[in-house]
Every structure is written in C-alpha cells, then in structure tokens.
Structure 1
Amino acid sequence: MVKKKYATHAREPFFEIANKNIKADSKVLDIGAGSGKFSNYCKRKDFYLFDGNQDTVNFLKEENTNVFLGELPILPFENDFFDLIHCSHVVEHLTPDVFYQTLKEMDRCLKVGGFIVVSAPILWSGFYDDLSHVKPYSPGVFMNYLVGKNKNSRTREIVSEDYVCDELTYRFLENKNPSILFSNKNNKFLVKVILKGIEILKKMGLTSYERTGFTIVMRKIK
C-alpha cells in the first residue's frame, strides 16, 4: 500500500522523518545543506551545515551560525560530536569509494545513541536523466556496512556492526507511462489488456506507482 504522503519528490515529508529524532539540544549535521531547506524546516539556525559550493556557503552564512565549506569524504569535526547526521540526495552523486569513506566519517562523528538519516533515489526509470547522478545506492548498503547483514556480499571491510535500522520509508511517483513496466512488449495484445485494466483502475480512483527512493534512519546503539 502506497501512502499518498510519500508519493512525491518534495523533500518535506522526508524531513519530517529526520526531525522527529531531533531534540532541542541535539547537535545536528546536514551534509549537502544546499539552500538550507532542512534546517529551515526544523526552524533551527544552529545546525552544522556542510556544503561543497562556496556560493552556497556564503549564502548560508547570512542566517546560520555553523556553516562549513568542504568536500566529501572528509568531515572537519571531532569524534562523537553529533546527535544526528542528515544527508538528503547527496550519496547518489558519490563514487563507491567516496561513499564508503563518507560512511566511515559519519560513523566517526556520531555519538552513541545518535542517528544517521539518509534520503536518496534508487534505480528508477528517471534516475540517469540527471547527469550528476553517479550511482544509485539501495538501503541494503547501509544494512550491509553499518549493521553487518549479507556478509558474503561485502567487498570492503565493514564500517560498523553497532547500528540498527529504526525506520525505512520509500518514496514513490505516479507511473505516467505504465507500459514501460512490461518486458513482454512483443505481445501487443497483452499490453493492451493490461493498459485497459489500468485505465479502469484509474477511473475507480486507483493508480500505479513507481518506487523512486527512500529515507533510512540508522541508530548507533553502542
């Protein structure tokens, strides 16, 4: 069952997932802060905002106290410093090596009891329409390298086994062209029947959706 709330590419429903794990005294890092939408959503000016664009950093400094210019994977912060690390639509722009080192850096900077919250696209029909996208990473990557699942498929050393997944929420978009979902395109009659069925379902208020991304909440338990 698709929750209509998450059938969107708007960021706010997924910001809410992260925000509910933030307390008044939490130290929060937003990696790839951009225009500051997440900190603005949370109504906080004391978040640590990290971005690789100098113009963006200059803009953020106009209204925020903790703004840092840098390039992943290096995070210029002390060990065990943050209560929550937020990273929205950043990891898909990283090569596997940089992503792996970034995971290690996030783990280093996070306190025990803290949270890593990542939102990212998966491999969907529109993923490579954006030329800045390098590679889609599934939620399984976090389960593999931070929880310790799927040991036989790991090609790099585990980052940690000290995390649990508190929440995994998927993002969807309405499928505007459902015929692309069917691999048996040579059977035109079958496709026609299926599309007719979809048309009937739409008239009944039902529709088909494509899973396009996720938000995962990882909690460091020790």
Structure 2
Amino acid sequence: MYEIWENIWKHEKISEWNRLCQIIFEVLQRELKSFEGKRIIEAGCGSGRVSLRLAQHGADVYLLDICKEAVKYAKNISQKKKLNANVNIIRASIFNIPFRDDCFDIVWNAGVLEHFLSYEQLYALKEMKRTCKNGGSIIIMVPYSKAVFYRVGKFYQERRRRWKWGYERPFKTLRQLYNKAAIHLKREFNVGFEEQLAFIFCIPGMGRMAPLLRKLKRLLFILGIGGYLLIAIGIKLKT
C-alpha cells in the first residue's frame, strides 16, 4: 500500500483545491465553529490541502503522513502560501503518532481508514484518540457503502485492473469502530452525492447521464443512495 501511494503522490496531478475539499472544509467549519487558536492534527494528511486552509483561518495545524511524496507536496504548498508559522508537517505513521497524550483539540482524517484492515483501523483510531484532549473531537471521513455510483465505478475499474488506489473498503457505519475504541459517537451522516459521479465517468456512456442523476438527487436519496463520504464526529470523554 505504501508503494502505491508514493507513486500516486509522485505522479498524480493534484489541484490546490476542488469541490470535495470545499465540502470537507465546510463540514469541519460547521462542526467546530471556529478554528482560531485550535491545535489540530490531520493524521494521514495526503496533500494536506484542507488542513492548510484551516491554518489560514487561525488554527495551529499539524500534518502527518507516512508517504515521503505527500509530505513533500504539503510542504511545497505550505511554503507557497507562507503558512510556515502555524503549520508543522511531519513524516510519521498513523500507528505511532509522535506526540504525547492529550495533545490536540481536533484529530481528524479523510480517505484514510478505508485502506486498512479492521484490526489496523482500530489501532489507528485508538492512537488518534490517545493524542486527543479530553472533550476534543475525533473526526473520520471515509467512502460510504451506500454511495452506489462510487461502488459501481470502483467495481468496473477493479474488474479491468484500472483501479489505482489499492485496497479500499467503504463503510456502512463507523459506530462499531468508535465503540471499540471507546470514543463517544456524537453524530454520523453522509455528504457529497455529486462527488461519487466522477467514479462512473470511466464507464462508456455514463458521463452523459450525470446531468440527469444530479436532477434526480433528491429522489435517489429517498431511495437510499447516499453521498460519497460517511462522516463520524466523535468526542473523547474524560476517563
């Protein structure tokens, strides 16, 4: 998995901001109200685009990733935006976060846990919890199993050996994982219906259906088709 992601970060063209980044930022903004003075770590930051935006809004941000190329990209963007004063970028593993206990107000990631096996997910989540302050937020965002168009596109690409993201298992819920990690699950919801449509554009003829699917979004939601991301908002309770 490490080699796959090193290759992706080295060769993939990455925009500085996109619609999915905006959705994630707005979720964090809605849940946390203000970033000013908050100590935030993104454990498995990838490009770090959203966290760097949090830094622009006054947060003291830490970006952590095991991939050398991801860290390099995040550092380049941070320097370009002149955010070095309140941005710290570290190459390290989510399974061994190099900070003391009860260190951060918010510990979060998006698009990370789905790439690990169940026991690894729990280990990583417990490590995230360890570094979170009592009363702090632990926020996880992963692909949602009811994002049907994402799953169809993923299946199509896997069958044709075109899927480049490695092992990836969507979630129906994060409740059981949070319970095992002894994290209070405050809320769970899904967002990003339109973002999953990009996964089916590789299927011949499906690109033409996108405008119709967007118009039918409300009906499809009623029928049980969810957004691309499942989001869990957890709180570390005092023990």
Give TM class, smaller chain.
Answer: 0.5 to 0.7
CA contact (8 A) 2:44 2:109 kept: yes
Give the CA deviation at 1:163.
0.8
Give the CA deviation at 1:131.
3.4
Whole-angstrom CA distance in 1 between matches of 2:43 and 2:95: 10
Select 2:50's aligned residue among 19, 38, 48: 38
**Does 1:107 find its partner at 2:132?**
no
The C-alpha deviation readout for 1:43-77, integer Å capped at 9, x for no partner, is: 25730000122233234334444111012322111
Identity %: 22
**Does 1:168 find its partner at 2:189?**
yes
Mean CA deviation greater in 106-115 or 41-50: 41-50
Gaps of 5+ in 2: 1-17, 146-150, 158-162, 201-208
The C-alpha deviation readout for 1:102-125, integer Å capped at 9, x for no partner, is: 011011111111111111113322
Give the structure-2-normalised TM-score.
Answer: 0.63
Would you tell me which structure has more helix in proportion to its own residues? Answer: 2
Whole-angstrom CA distance in 2 between matches of 1:9 and 1:133: 23
Relative to 1, partners in 2 of residues 1:126 and 1:66: Cα closer, same or farther, differing over 3 Å?
same
Q: How many residues align?
A: 180
SS in 1 for 2:60: coil
Q: Which is higher, the Rg of structure 1 or of structure 2?
A: 1
Relative to 1, partners in 2 of residues 1:29 and 1:175: Cα closer, same or farther, differing over 3 Å?
closer
Aligned to 1:217: 233
SS in 1 for 2:177: helix
User: Within 5 A, what are the aligned runs for 1:100-179?
Assistant: 100-123=122-145, 124-128=151-155, 129=157, 130-138=163-171, 140=173, 142-146=174-178, 148=179, 158-160=180-182, 162-173=183-194
SS in 1 for 2:100: coil
Over the aligned positions, Cα root-mean-square deviation in angstroms equals: 3.1
SS in 2 for 1:71: coil
The C-alpha deviation readout for 1:173-214, integer Å capped at 9, x for no partner, is: 37698xxxxxxxxxxxxxxxxxxxxx9xx59x5454643332
Whole-angstrom CA distance in 2 between matches of 1:114 and 1:172: 29
Whole-angstrom CA distance in 2 between matches of 1:134 and 1:122: 15
Amino acid at match of 2:141: S
Give the structure-1-normalised TM-score.
Answer: 0.68
Mean CA deviation greater in 28-37 or 129-138: 129-138
Gaps of 5+ in 1: 1-7, 149-157, 178-198
